[in-house]
Chains A and B, each alone.
Chain A
Amino acid sequence: MSSGTVASEGADEAPIGAVQQTGKSAKKLHGMIFIGLAGLLLIAPFVLYPVFLMKVLCFALFASAFSLLLGYAGLLSFGHAAYFGMASYIAAHAAKVWGFTPELAILSGTLVGTLLGVVFGWLAIKRQGIYFAMITLALSQMVFFFCVQAKFTGGEDGIQAVPRGHLFGLIDLANDRVLYFVVAAIFLFGMIAIYRIIHSPFGQVMKAIRDNEPRAVSLGYRVNQYKLALFVLSTALAGLAGATKAIVFQLASLTDVHWSMSGEVVLMTLVGGLGTVFGPMVGAAVIVTMQNYLATLGAWVLVVQGFIFVACVLAFREGIVGLFAKRLKQPL
C-alpha cells in the first residue's frame, strides 16, 4: 500500500531527529489554533444549526482518530467503521435498554471500541501494508455481519428512539444547544488528547517507526507494542465519536458499521490533510457539509463529492490544511 509514502510526503517532512523539537513558534501557533477553535465552538451554535454542528463534531473526532493511525504511524486501517459503529450500537443499547445516563452510555461504547481495538489490533499488527489494511477490512466486515444478525441491533431497522437522558442525572440534554456544548466538550477533549499523543515522546517514537521501522527496531524499540498501543488509542477515540453520535441522533444503524463508512473517513482525512492534527476535522466538516446542504441536489451529491475529491488530489495533494502548513512552513 502506498500509505507509507503518502504519509512521508505529508506536512512534516523533517527527519526523525528534527521532529522532536516542534519549534516554539509552532507550539504557540497550535495553542492559538486551539483557543480559536474553542472560541469558534462557543459561537457556532448561535449561527449554525446545532444538530448539524454536532454531526460535524462527531465525524471530525472520528476522522482525527483515524488519521492518528494513518498519519502518524502510516497504518492504513480500512475497518474503522467497526469501532465507530459498534460503539454507537453499545451506547444506544446501554442508554435505551439498560437505562444508563448518557455519559455512562458513551463510556461503555468507548470501552467496547477499545476492547475491539485490542483484539483486532493484536491480529492485524502482525502484518504490514496492504495485508494490514485487508485484515482490518475483513474483521470490520465480520462486525458488520454480526450487527446484521444480532438481536439487539435490530437488523435493518437499527436501534431507534434512544433517549438522550440527563447528563450525570442532572442536566437535561433534550435541548439541542445544551447537548451541543456537551458534544463540543467531548470533541475538544478528544482533540487535545490526540494532540498530546502526537507530541509526546510516545508520538515521536511512532513517527520514527513510520519513517524507518528497521532503524527503530535497531534502536531497541518494541515496534509492535507501540503500533498496538496507537491502534487501540485510535479505536478508543473512534468509539468515543461513535458513541456520542448515537446519543446525538438517538439512533444507531447499519450505516455506521458499513464498509463505506470506513471509506468515507479515509476521504475526510485525505481532503483535510494527512499527517496534520487539524486536517481531518476540516475534511470531515467539508464532507458532512456537502452531504447535508447538497441533500436537495439528489443524485448529484455523490458526483459533487467525487469531483471535489478528484480536484483535491490533483490540485493540493497535501489536503486543505496540508496546503496551509506548507505555506506557513509550520506543521499544523
Chain B
Amino acid sequence: MRKTATALAVAGLLMGAGTAQAQISVKLGVLNDRSGVYSDLGGEGSVVAARMAVEDFKAESKGIKVEIVSADHQNKPDIGASITRKWYDQDNVDVILDVPTSSVALAVAQITKEKNKVHLNSGAATSDLTGPACTANTLHWAYDTVQLANVTGGAMVRQGGDSWYFLTADYAFGHALERDTSAVVKKNGGKVIGTVRTPFPSSDFSSFLLQAQASKAKVIGLANAGGDTVNAIKQASEFGITQGGQKLGGLLVFVNDIKALGLKVAQGLNFSETFYWDYNDSTRAWSKRFMGHMNRAPNMTNAGVYSSVLHYLRGVEATKSKDPAKVIGWMKANPFEDAVFGKGYVREDGRVMIDAFLLEVKKPEESKGEWDLLKVVTKVPADQAFRPMSEGNCPLVKKN
C-alpha cells in the first residue's frame, strides 16, 4: 500500500515536472460558413489550414498546447454573435479565425473587443475592419475591398485597360466597390465611360452586358459578388465579350469560383487575390499538402488562416503569454515570413500587409492540370495594394 502511495507521489511529481514546461494552452475557434454559399471558400479548408499551421509550428514541442474547434455561423450575424459569446464566455476560446461575411465579422470584432480576446480575420471583405470599426483586438489578414479595387483597377489600367464600364450590384456593397475602383481607375489615368446598376440579386444580366458591350469600354468591371458575379461571367461568355476584345474585371472572385465556372466560360477574366497556389515552390509545396487533406486547391482565405495562426503562435511563444495586448503588440512589432504569403507585417490599424496579385484566367488550351487555372499578370507590392493607414479613419491610429 505504502509502495503504491510513494509510487503515485513520485509519478505525480514527475507529471508535475512534465507539465511545468507545457504551461500555455491555446484554444482556436474557426468560425465560418460550413453549409452555405461560402462553405467552399472557407469551411473545412480553413480548419485544415489552421491545423497545418499548428503542425508546422511544432507547438507541442514548444510547450504550447493548441486545441482547434469549429462552428458554422450560417452567414447569420446573430448566430455568429451567439457562438462567439459562448466560445469566449464558456468554452475558453482565445482566438477566433476566418469569419467570412462582413456583417458577421463586424459583430465578432465588436464582441472580441468587449471580451478582450483575439480575432484574426481572413474571410471577410469589408475594409471597415481596419477602418472606422477597427479595434485593438482584431487583425485582418488575406484581403479587403480596397485592395481588390486597387489591384484590379490600378493594375488593369496600367496594362492598357484605361476605359471602364461598371456593372454594379445595386446595394451598399456594390456601390462601395464601384466607388473605390473608379477612384483608382481615374487616379491611374483611366476613365469611367459609364455604369449600370443591376438589381440585387439578379439572374439575368443580358441587357446590362449588351449596354456594356456597346459602350466599347476596354474593361467591364463587375462590382458584385457571389452568385451575381458567377451569373454575369457566364452570360458574358455567351455574348463572347472577352473574345470580342473587351476585358472582364471581377472585383470579388476566388480561385474556387473559376474552378466552378470552368475555363471555357471564365477565360480572360482578370481579378485579384493575395495568394495563388501555383506562384512559387513554397506555395506549391504547401498547397500540395493542403490538397492532400481537402481535395481542392487552397485560396487566399485558407492561406490567411494558416499565416495568421502561425504568426499568432510565434507571438505566444515569444511573449510566453496569451494576453491579447501583449501578443498582438508582438505581432505588430515583428514582421513575418511564411510559405504562403512570403514576407509581410501587421500595421497599427490591424491591417496585414502582404503583396497582391493581378490574375488572369487561362485559356482551356493553356491549362495543364485540374487546378492549373490562372496566370499571374503582375504582382502589386503591399503598400500600393492596400489603403494607406491615414485614409482609413481607424480610431486606433488617430490617437498616435
Contacts and interface: CB of A to CB of B under 8 A. Distances in A.
Contacts of B75: 255
B85 interface: yes
A297 interface: yes
Contact of B102 (A49, A157, A295): A157
Nearest to B176: A155
Interface in B41-96: 43-44, 69-79, 81-83, 85-86, 89-90
Task: Give chain B's interface residue range (CB within 8 Å of chain A).
Answer: 35 or more
B279 interface: no
A155 B89 CA distance: 30
B71 A296 contact: yes
B20 interface: no
Contacts of A154: 172
Contacts of B170: 149
Interface string A250-287: 11011110000000000000000000000000000000
A160 interface: yes
A104 interface: no
B372 interface: no
Contact of B110 (A55, A160, A254): A160
A115 to B, nearest CB: 24
Chain A interface size band reads 20 to 34
B12 to A, nearest CB: 34
Given A157-B106, A157-B172, A297-B72, A249 B81 contact: yes
A212 interface: no
Interface in A157-210: 157-158, 160-161, 176
A161 B171 contact: no
Interface stretch (A106-114, A120-128, A231-239, A298-306): A298-306
B107 A251 contact: yes
Contacts of B172: 148-149, 154-157
Interface string B197-209: 0001000000000
Given A249-B78, A298-B43, A156 B173 contact: yes
Contacts of A149: 170-172
Contacts of B39: 298-299
Contacts of B81: 249-251
A5 interface: no
A176 B82 CA distance: 12
Contacts of B69: 296
Contacts of A256: 78
Nearest to A298: B34
Interface in B335-349: none
Interface in A127-168: 148-149, 154-158, 160-161
A216 interface: no
Given A55-B82, A292-B83, A296-B71, A157 B44 contact: no
A291 interface: yes
A292 B82 contact: yes
B334 interface: no
A209 B73 CA distance: 42
B133 A299 contact: no
Contacts of B86: 49, 51-52, 292
Given A299-B34, A302-B35, A161 B83 contact: no
Q: Which of B39, B69, B86, B172 has the most CB of A within 10 A?
A: B172
Contact of B103 (A158, A176, A250, A295): A158
A295 B77 contact: no
A155 B83 contact: no
B173 A155 contact: yes
A51 B82 contact: yes
B115 to A, nearest CB: 11
A176 B79 CA distance: 17
A245 interface: yes
B104 to A, nearest CB: 8
Given A51-B86, A157-B102, A245 B171 contact: no
A226 B45 CA distance: 55
B70 A296 contact: yes
Interface in B84-143: 85-86, 89-90, 102-103, 106-107, 110, 126, 128, 133
A176 B86 CA distance: 11
Given A52-B86, A160-B133, A249-B81, A295 B71 contact: yes
A89 B71 CA distance: 26
A70 B44 CA distance: 40
Contacts of B79: 291-292, 295
B70 A148 contact: no
Contacts of A255: 75-78
Contacts of B74: 291, 295, 301
The listed residue with most B CB atoms (<10 A of its CB), out of A158, A297, A300, is A158
A301 B72 contact: yes
B43 to A, nearest CB: 7
Interface in A27-57: 49, 51-52, 55
B77 A251 contact: yes
A264 to B, nearest CB: 10
B200 A148 contact: yes
A245 B78 CA distance: 9
Given A148-B171, A161-B133, A249-B107, A298 B78 contact: no
Given A49-B89, A51-B85, A160-B107, 14 more contacts: A52-B86, A149-B172, A157-B102, A176-B85, A249-B77, A251-B77, A251-B81, A254-B103, A255-B75, A255-B78, A295-B74, A296-B70, A298-B43, A299-B34
13 contacts: A52-B82, A149-B171, A155-B173, A156-B102, A156-B103, A161-B106, A250-B110, A255-B78, A291-B79, A295-B71, A298-B39, A298-B70, A299-B72
Interface of A: 49, 51-52, 55, 148-149, 154-158, 160-161, 176, 245, 249-251, 253-256, 291-292, 295-302
The 7 closest A-B pairs by CB, nearest first: A155-B172, A298-B34, A299-B35, A295-B71, A253-B77, A160-B106, A255-B76
